[in-house]
Chains A and B, each alone.
Chain A
Amino acid sequence: MSQIETFYDVMRRQGITRRSFMKYCSLTASALGLGPAFVPKIAHAMETKPRTPVIWVHGLECTCCSESFIRSAHPLAKDVVLSMISLDYDDTLMAAAGHAAEEAMRDTIEKYKGNYILAVEGNPPLNEDGMFCISGGKPFVEKLKYAAKDAKAIISWGACASYGCVQAAKPNPTRATPVHKVITDKPIIKVPGCPPIAEVMTGVITYMLTFDRLPELDRQGRPAMFYGQRIHDKCYRRPHFDAGQFVEEWDDENARKGYCLYKMGCKGPTTYNACSTVRWNEGTSFPIQSGHGCIGCSEDGFWDQGSFYNRVTDLTQFGVEKNADQVGLAAAGVVGTGIAAHAAISALKSAQRKTQDTRSREEA
């Protein structure tokens, strides 16, 4: 693919300075949890490797993933979307319309056969032969299969593509179906969240373009570097949970003191995502910081787990009404290791809510 320019060429063409480029490489390295030694490696890769073409398609969705993506933190991350990876085909941002757009997609597939990454936002609805989402006169599921056939790998952006999301909520009127249940013969990386955090999206895509492989995935197919942390474990309100200090009602005295939102339905204890560390809107905040609990939007099935304002599970057996020492002991038992904590929570969940049996068993 020598005729394709390198990432660095593209960036140079966009007028990006060497200094900004190096800064981008070091930010990317730290976002990916790689040491400073990796900075020159990333820089070298971007200078020498031909850029990887990306086709970005939209199914049944709300465009929130794109909206999140074009709001990434580092100024250069905007250039990731607007130029660097040069989205060869993107429904929301591209210039072409109508037949020209269809042709652009066909051309891109032909030109980069077997070498492009397919980014999918949203998912295909399968009821009524896919008639609930028509793109270019055809059901989206056909476009998805067509674009996936010659893709090197697929990124499932967001909860829709990864799991189904709210549009798959009971009774799932359109039978909205996650990508991996339709495309079964390609490597798929899930980047869930509703939407995913912008920095997570750019981090994942930069890793894939730089190292030409998928990042390490967890059991659910999510990049471990971003979905390996439990919101609860890195939450700045965690000390209040451990001390048994909870918000009891919106804007009460405890809310003003920034106490734990667990009793208000926070799903932080069962959610794996980078919100409590990377945060949102260029690191400004995240839902718990705005006084509202986490709804667990990066977890499979978050939309059908009873009310979003119900407590995850009754944790009174942890001794929150007892004295601080007992609480501390109990809590320490839970957070001994990430895996133990995960297992404990999963066990609790399955004990408390039988409906969830399958996934909890998997996780435990």
Chain B
Amino acid sequence: MTDRQLLVGPFNRVEGDLEIRLDIRDGQVAAAYANSPLFRGFEMMLLGKDPRDALTLTPRICGICSVSQSAAAALALGAAGGHAMAPQGALAAAILHGVENLADHVTHFNLFFMPDFARPAYAGRAWHDRAVARFTAMEGSAARVTAEARARLMHISGLLGGKWPHTLAIQPGGVTKTPDARDRVRILATLRAFRRYLEEALFDAPVEAFAALETVDQLDAWEGGDAALFFRIARDLGLEKIGQGPRRYMSFGAYPLPDGPGFSRGLWQNGATGPVDPALIVEDLSHAWMLGDTAHPTQGATVPDEDMRDPAYSWCKAPRLGGAVVEVGALARQVVDGHPLALALAAEGSVRARIAGRLLEIARTQILLEGWAAALDPEARFMDPAPTLRDGQGAGLVEAARGSLGHWLRVEKGRIAGYQIIAPTTWNFSPRDAGGTPGPVEAALVGAKVGAGEETPLSVQHIVRSFDPCMVCTVH
């Protein structure tokens, strides 16, 4: 018997709009339904267009992870034509992408996630004053320092991509920009400055020290920076016990480079990592306002159901891998990559684990980026131009900040004949499938405590934001 229903939303401090319906029983969430209320129809607009236009159109799905969309489109076009990027072009693309993911992670932590702990409801907790000073929305000291550090980091996006957001430089054959020796020095200097920010504000220690953590005990003992403030809050509020995901983690492998991805590809379940087979992906439409059958994205279509019939409750399709729900994101990537700390947190799969996974990835991405920038060779070719694509089919599978992003493309007679996109938040915020199995966030919310008078329950806010939803990508 449901005691009451709650409609939580609009959420704010997420990218795009989100609404969640909650059934409350005995002071906790009994069932949750995630609704992505924003639909634009990119997959419909792409049909009939010049395949290259996907490079300009798809990044505009999202203003915060446009480089991810751009990288996926370039890879899909390359795959369809059997064409690969020039090695140095792939390296420059990895730098552009890594910078965006890094910027997204620090934005999420400082501007989207932490401000909830500055809420008056937590007044009196030992850490509250500190949280207010650092993270009050739009005013906290951390917000300002982060906005500034992030803007400076994105000089790299400017240098290599001309502008950010909606960078145009990444192409199937590489990147349009050939960085010269001076650019390389500027990129390295910019990364050094960002390292200083991380080592002063976020970790108060070398990033290598955080990346070297191996156990949950070591994590609990971490003392530096805003990261330590979070772990202190997490212990006090029991964030290691709430928001448990499906504990099945997928990664398409981040940053494809000639000698393998920066973070590896795979599927972690039941305590072991194995290969991931994208052929097993389907999108289930039973609870989406979409017409058509369950299909692999190469066969899929996007036909919105204008009658918005029941039992559907979202514009979001429900992607499943081999029929199962999977979680994607920084934690998933670090687990699949086999980092000891992430593996130690994999079974926990909680709000704390997700944030720790993201902090871990911040430290590791900073280190990767420095290595890549040092390896830039201004004398090499950065583009091996792809021939005109007449017919072909291909997939571009990348890792955006929030998780696995796939573009599936079919070209016939020089025009786009099919284009399907599954974004990270499509996985994490998927509605139920035909079997009634809820998506990751829907399941993670079950059991969350809801106080008697709470209209926007804090536990729900923490759980939802721990996934770092990007709702504009979700439905696109």
Report which A residues bind B (CB closer than 8 A): 14, 58, 60-68, 70-72, 75, 78-79, 81-83, 87, 90-102, 125, 127-128, 131-137, 165-167, 169-174, 176, 194-195, 249-251, 255-256, 275, 279-282, 284-292, 295, 297, 303, 306-310
Within residues 368 to 402 of chain B, which ones have a CB less than 8 A from any CB in chain A? Answer: 381-385
Task: Name the A residues within 8 Å of B41 (CB-CB).
Answer: 167, 173-174
Contact of A286 with B163 in the complex, beta carbons under 8 Å:
yes
Given known A137-B7, A251-B382, A280-B164, contact A290–B138 (CB-CB < 8 A): no
Q: Output the nearest chain B residue to A309 by Cβ-Cβ distance.
A: B52
Contact of B12 with A290 in the complex, beta carbons under 8 Å:
no
Q: A60-B38, A173-B304 are in contact. List 14 more A-B contacts (CB 8 A).
A: A64-B62, A64-B63, A64-B64, A78-B151, A93-B13, A93-B137, A96-B12, A133-B17, A133-B37, A173-B45, A176-B40, A280-B162, A290-B167, A308-B53
Asked whether B331 is an interface residue with its Cβ less than 8 Å from the other chain, the reply is no
Asked whether B242 is an interface residue with its Cβ less than 8 Å from the other chain, the reply is no
Contact of A98 with B8 in the complex, beta carbons under 8 Å:
yes
Task: Name the A residues within 8 Å of B64 (CB-CB).
Answer: 62-64, 67
A105 to chain B, nearest CB (A): 10
Report which B residues bind A (CB closer than 8 A): 7-13, 15-17, 19, 37-42, 44-45, 49-50, 52-53, 55-57, 60-64, 66, 86, 111, 115, 118-119, 136-139, 143-144, 147-148, 150-152, 154-155, 157-169, 171, 173-178, 304, 306, 308, 315, 381-385, 455-456, 461, 472
Given known A63-B472, A78-B148, contact A295–B168 (CB-CB < 8 A): yes
Contact of B139 with A285 in the complex, beta carbons under 8 Å:
no
B348 to chain A, nearest CB (A): 26
Q: Output the nearest chain A residue to B40 by Cβ-Cβ distance.
A: A167
Task: Pick the residue among B37, B66, B155, B173 that contacts A281 (CB under 8 A).
Answer: B155
- Bound-state CA distance A107–B19 (Å) is 22
Contact of A134 with B17 in the complex, beta carbons under 8 Å:
yes
Contact of B9 with A136 in the complex, beta carbons under 8 Å:
yes
Contact of B162 with A93 in the complex, beta carbons under 8 Å:
no
Interface centre among B50, B151, B174 (most CB of A within 10 A): B151
Q: Would you mind naming 24 contact pairs between A and B with Cβ atoms under 8 Å apart?
A: A61-B472, A62-B61, A67-B165, A78-B151, A87-B138, A91-B12, A92-B15, A93-B138, A94-B137, A95-B118, A95-B119, A97-B11, A132-B315, A135-B10, A250-B176, A251-B385, A281-B151, A281-B158, A282-B155, A285-B161, A291-B178, A295-B168, A309-B50, A309-B52
Contact of A285 with B385 in the complex, beta carbons under 8 Å:
no
Given known A134-B37, A289-B162, contact A281–B52 (CB-CB < 8 A): no
Q: Output the nearest chain A residue to B154 by Cβ-Cβ distance.
A: A281
Task: Pick the residue among A82, A97, A165 that contacts B60 (CB under 8 A).
Answer: A165
Given known A62-B61, A95-B118, A281-B164, contact A291–B177 (CB-CB < 8 A): yes
Given known A101-B12, A135-B37, A307-B52, contact A249–B60 (CB-CB < 8 A): no
Interface centre among A72, A75, A176, A284 (most CB of B within 10 A): A284
- Bound-state CA distance A287–B449 (Å) is 49
Task: Name the B residues within 8 Å of A101 (CB-CB).
Answer: 10, 12
Contact of A195 with B19 in the complex, beta carbons under 8 Å:
no
Interface centre among B161, B173, B455 (most CB of A within 10 A): B161
Contact of A307 with B162 in the complex, beta carbons under 8 Å:
no
Task: Pick the residue among B15, B38, B169, B176 that contacts A132 (CB under 8 A).
Answer: B38
- Bound-state CA distance A63–B57 (Å) is 15
Interface centre among B50, B165, B381 (most CB of A within 10 A): B165
Contact of A64 with B115 in the complex, beta carbons under 8 Å:
no
Contact of A128 with B306 in the complex, beta carbons under 8 Å:
yes
Task: Name the A residues within 8 Å of B37 (CB-CB).
Answer: 133-135
Given known A64-B63, A68-B165, A132-B39, contact A171–B178 (CB-CB < 8 A): no
Task: Name the A residues within 8 Å of B63 (CB-CB).
Answer: 61-68, 195
- Bound-state CA distance A93–B64 (Å) is 14
A72 to chain B, nearest CB (A): 8
